[in-house]
Amino acid sequence: MARANPQQKVALEQLREDVLGTMQDLSLVGVQVISALEDLPLGVLRRSATQRHGVTRWRRGADGTLVVETVDLHPNLLCEAWNSYAKFVLYHEFLHALGWRAHDMHFRGLEALWPDAAARRLGPSFTQAMRTNRATWMWSCSTCDQRFPRQKRGNGRYICRTCRTPLLDVPVHDAQ
Ligand SMILES: [Zn+2]
Ligand SMILES: [Zn+2]
C-alpha cells in the first residue's frame, strides 16, 4: 500500500461520492450501509501493482471479527481516461467491504447490477495499458504486426501466439 497524495485523495473522494450515489439509485443498500462506506478509508496501491486494480484490506477487530481496514485503488485509475472503470472497480471493492468476500455467483450477480455495462468490461484494457506504460520493449511479430509490451527483451525465445513467428525485440521508443 502507498499513501495517497492530496490530489489522489480528492479523486478518491469524488469516486466515492459518484459510486455511493449510483448504489443509492440502485436501491441496493440502505442509508446505514451508505454511511459506513462513507467513513471507510480509501487509498492507493503501489504503481507497480499491475495485476490488481483494487483491493479491500481486512484486519481482525478486538472481538475477533473482520473489519475493513482500507479499500485501495490502482493510482493509474485516478484520471479522466479511466474514470468509468475506476467507479466500477470501487463498486466491486465496496461489495467486498459490505461482507461479500468471495467472487461467487451471488457476488457476480450484484456486480452485474452496475449500470455502466461498458465499464464492467474494461479490466483487460486497463491491464494492457499499464503493461504498455511500463514496457521498455515491444515483442513484435513481423508477420501479423501484433505487439506485446514487455519490460525485458525476449531474445528470440518467444513466438507469436497467432502465427508462430519468432518475436523481435523493438525498443518502445522506436515502436511508437
Ligand atoms: Zn474482488
Ligand atoms: Zn503474428
Between the CA of 127 and the centroid of ligand 2 the distance, in Å, is 21
Under CATH, to which class is 6-128 assigned?
Answer: alpha beta
Predicted pLDDT of residue 88 = 98
Between the CA of 169 and the centroid of ligand 1 the distance, in Å, is 35
Answer for the pair 166, 151: CB distance below 8 angstroms, yes or no. no
- Please give the grid coordinates belonging to residue 86: 475506476
Ligand nearest to the CA of 139: 2
Residues whose CB falls within 8 Å of the CB of residue 1, separated by 6 or more in sequence, listed in order: 43, 44, 45, 46, 57, 70, 72
- Computed over every residue of the chain, the mean pLDDT equals 91
Please give, one letter per residue, the 3-state secondary structure of the chain.
CECCCHHHHHHHHHHHHHHHHHHHHCCCCCHHHHHHHHHCCEEECCCCCCCCCEEEEEEECCCCCEEEEEEEECHHHCCHHHHHHHHHHHHHHHHHHCCCCCCCHHHHHHHCCCCCHHHHCCHHHHHHHHHHHHCCEEEECCCCCCEEEECCCCCCCCECCCCCCECEEEEHHHHC
Ligand nearest to the CA of 147: 2
Predicted pLDDT of residue 93 = 97
Predicted pLDDT of residue 1 = 61
Does 19 have pLDDT greater than 90? yes
Q: Which residue has the higher pLDDT, 96 or 176?
A: 96
Q: Which residues pair with 58 in a beta bridge?
A: 68
Does 176 have pLDDT greater than 60? no
Whole-angstrom distance, CA of residue 59 vs CA of residue 152: 37
pLDDT tier for residue 106 given thresholds of 50, 70 and 90: very high
pLDDT tier for residue 105 given thresholds of 50, 70 and 90: very high
Mean pLDDT of the region 43-52: 86
C-alpha distances out from residue 61 to 58, 66, 68, 172, Å: 9, 6, 9, 48
Query: Do β-strands 54-60 and 66-73 pair in parallel, antiparallel, or remain unpaired?
Result: antiparallel
Between the CA of 25 and the centroid of ligand 1 the distance, in Å, is 22
Residues whose CB falls within 8 Å of the CB of residue 125, separated by 6 or more in sequence, listed in order: 85
- Please give the grid coordinates belonging to residue 9: 485523495
Predicted pLDDT of residue 175 = 54
Between the CA of 160 and the centroid of ligand 2 the distance, in Å, is 5
Between the CA of 141 and the centroid of ligand 2 the distance, in Å, is 5
Predicted pLDDT of residue 34 = 82
The ranges assigned to domains in the chain are 6-128, 135-175
| pLDDT tens, residue by residue, 61-99 | 889 888 899 999 999 999 999 999 999 999 999 999 998
Between the CA of 96 and the centroid of ligand 1 the distance, in Å, is 7
Whole-prediction pTM: 0.80
Between the CA of 46 and the centroid of ligand 1 the distance, in Å, is 17
| pLDDT tens, residue by residue, 109-151 | 999 999 999 999 999 999 988 888 888 899 999 999 998 888 8
Residues with CB under 5 A from ligand 2 (ion): 141, 143-144, 160, 162-163, 165
